[in-house]
Structure 1
Amino acid sequence: MLDFDEAYKVTNAKDLLKEISELYQLVVTEGDAIFEKWEADIIRPEFNESARNLSYYLALRQRDIRGIQRDLVPWGLSSLGRLESKTLSTLEAVIHALTAIVGEQVSEQTPPFDAFNLGEERLAFNTALILGEKPNNRNTRIMVTMPTQAAGNIQLVRDLINKGMNVARINCAHDTEDIWMQIIGNIRQVSNELNKDVRILMDIAGPKIRIDWIFTTHKKPKVSLGDTIYLTKDYNHLPKNNEAKVTAGCSIPQIFEQLSVGDAVLIDDGTVETKVIDVSHDYAKLEVHKIKGKSIRIKADKGLNFPGLYFAIDILTQEDKEAIAFAAEHADIIGCSFVRDVNDIKSIQSELHSLLGKKAKDIPLMVKIETVQAVQNLTQIILAAASHNPFSVMIARGDLAVETGYIRLAEVQQQIMWICEAADVPVVWGTEVLANMIDTGIPSRAEVTDAAEGGRSDCVMLNKGDYIVDTVEMLDEILHMMKEHQFKKTPKLRALSIAKNNDHKN
């Protein structure tokens, strides 16, 4: 067991100053080299300084600096844990303070005080540019997924905006252009009436692999542990016997060419976990390995996930291209689902350029991070997107949890937020926020905490449901409360009411 006194032994200040000064020089040298590789591809001058700070942050975070961070604490210097938006300035300030502590000559002011605010100012500018004006009572915007009813129920739209909705999300995987147009018309009308800045995000479906249809000969086609499911290309490849309770059609047939025995296939955001026990170019035979509950019914339109596998699938279907054309004309932000790498970003940008020419660079993009590949390629995705367009990221925690595993999700979502903050990229906290309240009107204890954690992001997304208006109102109150206590990773030390009750006789 680690000895407490040894772990927190006060390091000689001169040695610590030497160590962190050497670290600083390495970060500057390596960060400059990283930025030099990027600079020629940055078309938007607004992204230059953000990319430069990101390069220094990456150079620093390639190292384990826990020892230095620990040794700084006894000297009253512990700011390395909050340097995302001000990497070099933070290191310079620590060096400046340590230099004074050891009694050496220091410059009058190194770094300039305003250097500490530049990253936050850039992020605030980018957030307002993409997600709209900051609400008066909170730092974090609220995004709501529009239900179909919003097309014919303008009062629902009015209630959502009055309660605090800042961004309206239209999921292009559902409804039609006529319905989208009615929803957009209602949002524009009400936001103008109320003088509210409400942005419209159109979320392009992307290559989401889903169950197209279900075939079964059973009256109650629920599957349990050990049951078999057939996944097929089309109706021509149904099983010739009743071995499988359910046969499901796969929306993207190319996957069968890349599946192998032993691969995991997860259905409905991991509600059913299966493994491939047989596969050909026409079908895959799956065995239920884990399941939520004793049995569950497999339904059409539910998602399929293949953790660890990369399918060579075009990022845009023909339907997606038609949706992008509509969004380019009517939306404020275009959302891109299931992006995996730089090539996907370039394909989307190319499609926009073919529609809008030079004006394509003015369209804000929002990429949903929901695959392992996207996490691994996050830095390159940010560079490719933000170098050409106003850019933001949504952490789509449903598919991401299935892809990475639930245990890893906790650290992955935080790492995404840190990298984005270093690049001055706004982040949306998405998937199942206050889901129980949206469905039933009563939140669970855990999801209230999750919603508060979302206050570290720049926007929190809510899905549609029967109690969505009440949920927007509650989320508005939660985010208002958390504004007084925390910004990103930094706690705010407002007076605590519970600290005042300190008389042990009461």
Structure 2
Amino acid sequence: MVNVVNSNNLLQDLQQLRETVIREGEAIYQPWRSLITRETFHHSAQNLAHYLALRKQDLRQIQLALMPWGLSSLGKIESRVIPNLDAVTCTLAEICQQPNPLKSRPSLTDFFAGDQLLHKNTIEVFGNSSQARQVRIMVTLPREAADNYELVKELLIRGTDCLRINCAHDRPEEWQKMIEHINKAKLQTRRNCRLLMDLAGPKIRLEEVLSPNGEKRIHPDEIILLSKDKPSQPHPDYWQVSCSVPEILPKLKIGTRIWIDDGHLGAIIESIDSQGIWLRVTHTRPKGEKLKADKGINFPETIINLNPLTAKDLADLDFVANHADLIGYSFVQTARDIQLLQTELEKRLGAQWRNKAIIAKIETQEAINNLPELIVQAAGKQPFGVMIARGDLAVEIGYQRLAEMQEEILWLCQAAHVPVIWATQVLETLVKTGIPSRAEITDAAMGERAECVMLNKGSFIIEAVSILDDVLTRMEAHQSKKGSQLRALHSWDN
């Protein structure tokens, strides 16, 4: 245990920690060097490597020991690992009246260089903010935006900084009309607004569903046969379903879990034979679930390794590469997945592909595990951001781990000076019904620690943008990433 009282011992502990972080961080960074072609990212990659080395340590006792000396700033170290350690070490040496173990204290420029890089990278991805706040608001456009210019214009007036087109829906003809409306609204409102176009990626869904005896709902302990072929006729004893991506089935193993319909239906693989995969339902709501075609399937305990670029994505990319400012990349899991998209962009854009921003949607445990390498492969070559896709991610890693993992993703991206989009179900009740729940207002406020917060489409999206703008503006005065701004409070003024 770290000595909380003895400052000399604490100074030695800090020096040892610094040496360990530099040594292990350098070992992490060296294999990345050859992958980086953007010179400005070398500093970020080194800081990311140092952060990974630092967070291998349990720092709770050092944090506690620093507190009585007024030096507990390691909790906000993400963007500046070595400068922060150096500043604390130098100050503690002065307190101990010991010779400074370092040559000098880091300059203000060096200390805040990481924050400046994150700010610069955020502008590179999202453009300059037209608002008083720095956190951007992104909105998914509905089909209506192709025909309703006033909707697009009003979204910009209310505070939208980035508009999103989901390429899983509509066609290039509708996308073109939406883009024309965006460009017109930008000119008329004199507001900046970037365009994100999301490639759909592989959709793992139920393709065909046959119920036993015409049943409408499925309940726990019922049996499902998941097969590669579409079922032809009902069976009286079990449900039959087929999968839109049958090449997944050979990778499944007995005892692993499957979730269907955004986690509403859970099942476990009990056996595998020539007919297919036999599942026993383990989880539904009390009244059961409606098992229908086109419902999504998640395999959280199976490494799938699908090509994230489908034939549709490649066709859509011909349009997207020439119209989008940011390209959303679904189902990214490895650095090789990033490389695939970069190769396709180069085919379409030549050397200009390096100016196109990629947004990697983090949706699986595998993507989390490989996040440092994903960041280096992407941000080492072009503008890059990360979207925390909390819908699929919650199903994949478990709802109880979502809060923890979204924090870790935020920290890691801050260490790499990479902007983050806080996404999925933000103010969803408000967007759909016009009245927010209490919890989702708090969730939206927490989104202030990202660089962008995304709203999905709905009947009350205009009102939702206004409320989110207000919430983020207020929170920005109180909070910056993990750090409290300590703005004067007036709630208890006499």
Query: After TM superposition, is the score higher than 0.5?
Result: yes
Partner of residue 97, structure 1: 91
* Deviations, residues 349-374 of structure 1 (Å, cap 9, x unaligned): 11112222222111100000000100
Of residues 223, 233, 239, the one that matches 1:228 is: 223
Q: Deviations over 1:39-82 (max 9, x none)?
A: 12211112111111111111211111111111000111110000
Distance in 2 (CA, whole Å) between partners of 1:119 and 1:197 is 25
Moved more, 350-359 or 435-444: 350-359
Q: Does 1:469 align with 2:462?
A: yes
Distance between the aligned counterparts of 2:275 and 2:244, measured in 1?
Answer: 13
Q: For residue 156 of structure 1, what is the aligned residue in structure 2?
A: 151
The answer (yes or no) to whether the contact 2:71–2:88 under 8 Å persists in 1 is yes
Q: Which residue of 2 aligns with 1:406?
A: 399
Alignment-derived partner of residue 236 in structure 2: 242
Aligned residue for 1:343, secondary structure, equals helix
**Alpha-carbon deviation of 1:207?**
2.0
Q: 1:177 aligns with which of 172, 186, 197?
A: 172
Secondary structure at 1:142's aligned position in 2? strand
Give a deviation string over 1:92-138, Cα, whole Å, max 9, x none.
11111111101234589611122222111111111111112124321
- Unmatched tracts of structure 2, length 5 or more: none
1:425 aligns with 2:418: yes
Correspondence for 1:504? none
Runs of 4 or more above 6 Å deviation: none
Distance 1:441 1:42, change over 3 A: same
Residue aligning to 1:192: 187
Quick check: 2:258–2:266 contact (8 Å CA) kept in 1? Answer: yes
What amino acid is aligned across from residue 129 of structure 1 in structure 2? E
Return the alpha-carbon distance in structure 2 between the equivalents of residues 113 and 500 of structure 1: 35
Percentage of pairs with the same residue: 42
Say if 1:366 and 1:394, in contact at 8 Å, map to a contact too: yes
Map of 2:201 onto structure 1: 206
Contact 2:87-2:105 at 8 Å conserved across structures: yes
Cα distance in 1 between the residues matched to 2:415 and 2:58: 18
Query: What is the aligned partner in structure 2 of residue 41 from structure 1?
Result: 35
1:54 aligns with 2:63: no
Aligned equivalent of 2:376, options 379, 383, 386 = 383
Residue aligning to 1:324: 317
| 1:97-496 equivalent positions in 2, closer than 5 A | 97-106=91-100, 110-216=105-211, 221-235=216-230, 237-238=231-232, 241-244=235-238, 246-280=239-273, 283-496=276-489
**CA distance 1:215–1:427, shift in 2 (3 Å):** same
Q: Report the AA paired with residue 409 of structure 1.
A: L
Displacement after TM superposition at 1:281 (Å)? 5.8
Q: Check if 1:11 corresponds to 2:5.
A: yes
How far the C-alpha of 1:279 sits from its partner, in A, is 3.1
TM-score by length of 1: 0.93
- CA positional deviation for 1:167: 0.9
Q: Distance in 2 between matches of 1:165 and 1:289?
A: 42
Structure 2 SS opposite 1:249: strand
Instruction: Write the distance in 2 (CA, Å) between the matches of 1:145 and 1:18.
Output: 52
Counterpart residue type for residue 181 of structure 2: N
1:314 and 1:280, CA in 2 relative to 1: closer, same or farther beyond 3 A? farther
The 8 Å contact of residues 257 and 280 in structure 1, kept in 2 or not, is answered as no
Shift of 1:287: 2.4
Pairs aligned (count) = 493
SS of equivalent to 2:267:
strand
- Distance in 2, Cα, partners of 1:464 & 1:281: 43
- Contact map agreement 1:256 1:280 (CA 8 A) in 2: no
TM-score (norm 2): 0.96
Distance in 2 between residues matched to 1:56 and 1:135, nearest whole Å? 34
In 2, the alpha carbon distance for the partners of 1:398 and 1:424 equals: 24
Instruction: Identify the residue that residue 61 of structure 2 maps to in structure 1.
Output: 67
Deviation at 1:197? 1.1
Q: Please give the per-residue CA displacement for 1:142-196, whole angstroms capped at 9, x wherever unaligned.
A: 1111111111111111111111111111111111111111111111111121111
Distance 1:238 1:229, change over 3 A: farther
How far apart, CA to CA, are the structure 2 residues paired with 1:208 and 1:46? 36
Equivalent residue letter for 1:255:
I
Q: CA deviation at 1:32?
A: 2.6
Partner Cα distance (2:444, 2:166) in 1: 22
User: Which of 85, 88, 99 is the aligned partner of 2:82?
Assistant: 88
Give the Cα–Cα distance (whole angstroms) in 2 for the partners of residues 200 and 234 of structure 1: 40
Task: Give, as a single letter, the amino acid of the residue that structure 2 aligns with 1:142.
Answer: I
Distance 1:320 1:279 in 2: 32
Alignment partners' CA distance in 2, 1:136 and 1:115: 28
* Deviation (angstroms), 1:470: 0.7
